Amino acid sequence: MSQPSLMTIPGQVDPVPVARDITPRADGRVDLIGLPRPRIRELFEQAGLDARQAKLRAKQVFHWLYHRGVTEFEAMTDIAKTMRPWLAERFVIGRPDVVEAQHSSDGTRKWLLRTGDGHDFEMVFIPDETRGTLCISSQVGCTLNCTFCHTGTMRLVRNLTPGEIVGQVMLARDALGEWPRGTMAGLDAVEDDRGHYTADGRLLTNIVLMGMGEPLYNFDHVRDALHLIMDGDGLGLSKRRITLSTSGVIPMMERCGEEIGVNLAVSLHAVRKEVRDEIVPLNRKYGIEELLAACADYPGASNARRITFEYVMLRDKNDSDEDARELVRLLRKYDLPAKVNLIPFNPWPGAGYECSSPERIQAFSDIVFEGGISAPVRTPRGRDIDAACGQLRTAAEKKSRAQRDREARESEATAAPFA
């Protein structure tokens, strides 16, 4: 029989590498982060606990993992001391490895992270006066090849597992110091009568899946991770505070609305076929009109929960008055509850595009506003550390350890506190 890797599959195949739900560890232990209660219970039973004991321990461990953010079994104070070493021998509470952490002059933070099997990806935290937004990745590299996006120049390595996706949120909470106290003592001072807590430091209020990768080409793992993030007994973030961005993987959009139910953002970026074919090649498979029809059918979309259309402003490519008017026409045609985010192009080495002038961007915005559609201009954040929209790419992996350490010291010396 020929090797499976050499066998061809007839027909058009979407590039969706299916990763395992748990990345194997060299020491044989199982990382519990990213696993729901039933899966934890199953693993405990396989490890030797009876069904009743496994159910109890799974409930306790789930609470400590996702509600309190502990990283050691020894901190789980309502589990018997004799039980904690048993857990530590068989399981681990993981976080992505931090290769490099950078601070921007505007307060944005970017982390270069590494999976257990040695692949690098990035996440970004953007603080504002009224919110703190975490931009997380769903793949190592990217399935798509959008020509204006630096991430799109990377090859796709693999999908991130649910644990690697949830782990980004947990790592950010670690860094921002917003977990409740890790002991059972004094909870009345921390939690209200509904079990919620007030965090120390800047509260992470919003999550956007706008980092590396196309989330809908890793649908199952993204869905499972977001269910843990939204679980009221776990991380407890409302689905209204989570936005998933897609370039237009139409077959998965309805499932996204039905099975996840988070806000939808669509990377539109052009309203003419020939232009979108160039800068968002997925358009050659799923065209603009088909995409907008799918947006109109997105479950839960309403004036209270508008779909966000992301539109990067490229000089002399997609920024004319005619483009603005066509954008208004299309959104009105499909009666979409829409908001347009105009994104000044963030340059990167070798990019074949330039950013539209501020005057041109404002003129474009004015036309869309006059058409009755909100079209704010996004303020670029984190440009000095390549953390802005479209700039994520793990070039930092090529740096020497000494260089990374030196840059980290310089960044920490100039970084403003997050209090």
Least confident of 30-39, 40-49, 373-382: 373-382
Structure tokens at 310: 């992301």
- State CA 315 to chain mean position distance: 28
Active-site residue 389, yes or no? yes
What mean pLDDT, rounded, does the chain reach?
A: 84
pLDDT at position 155: 80
Q: How many helices (H) and strands (E) does the chain have?
A: 11, 13
Higher pLDDT, 393 or 171: 171
**Do the bridges between strand 338-344 and strand 158-159 make them parallel or antiparallel, or are there none, so unpaired?**
unpaired
pLDDT at position 2: 39
User: From the candidates 89, 100, 122, 258, which is the catalytic residue?
Assistant: 122
State yes or no: pLDDT of 20 exceeds 70: no
Tens-place pLDDT, residues 277-306: 999 999 999 999 999 999 999 998 887 789
Least confident of 46-50, 202-206, 407-411: 407-411
Model confidence at 107, in pLDDT bands (50, 70, 90)?
Answer: confident
Rg (alpha carbons) of the chain, rounded to whole number: 22
State yes or no: pLDDT of 1 exceeds 70: no
Alpha-carbon span 298 to 308, nearest angstrom: 12
Report the predicted TM-score, pTM, of the whole model to 2 decimal places. Answer: 0.83
pLDDT at position 350: 77
pLDDT at position 13: 38
Model confidence at 47, in pLDDT bands (50, 70, 90)?
Answer: very high
pLDDT at position 267: 95
Q: Where are the beta strands (DSSP E) in 299-375?
A: 307-313, 338-344
Residue 113 forms beta bridges with which residues?
98, 121
User: From the candidates 135, 149, 295, 389, which is the catalytic residue?
Assistant: 389
Question: How is the chain split among helix, strand and coil, in percent rounded to 5?
Answer: 40, 15, 45
Tens-place pLDDT, residues 64-106: 999 999 999 999 999 999 999 999 999 999 999 999 999 888 8
Alpha-carbon span 79 to 186, nearest angstrom: 18
pLDDT at position 105: 85
Judge whether 65 and 32 are in contact, CB under 8 Å.
yes
Judge whether 313 and 345 are in contact, CB under 8 Å.
yes
pLDDT at position 301: 84
Alpha-carbon span 262 to 203, nearest angstrom: 20
Which pairs from 69-78 meet CB under 8 Å and 24+ separation? Answer: 69/170, 69/173, 69/174, 69/179, 69/180, 69/182, 70/182, 71/95, 71/174, 75/182, 75/183, 77/183, 77/184, 78/184
Higher pLDDT, 301 or 412: 301
Alpha-carbon span 403 to 382, nearest angstrom: 20
Judge whether 283 and 320 are in contact, CB under 8 Å.
no
Tens-place pLDDT, residues 110-169: 999 999 889 999 999 998 888 899 999 999 988 888 888 877 677 888 999 999 999 999
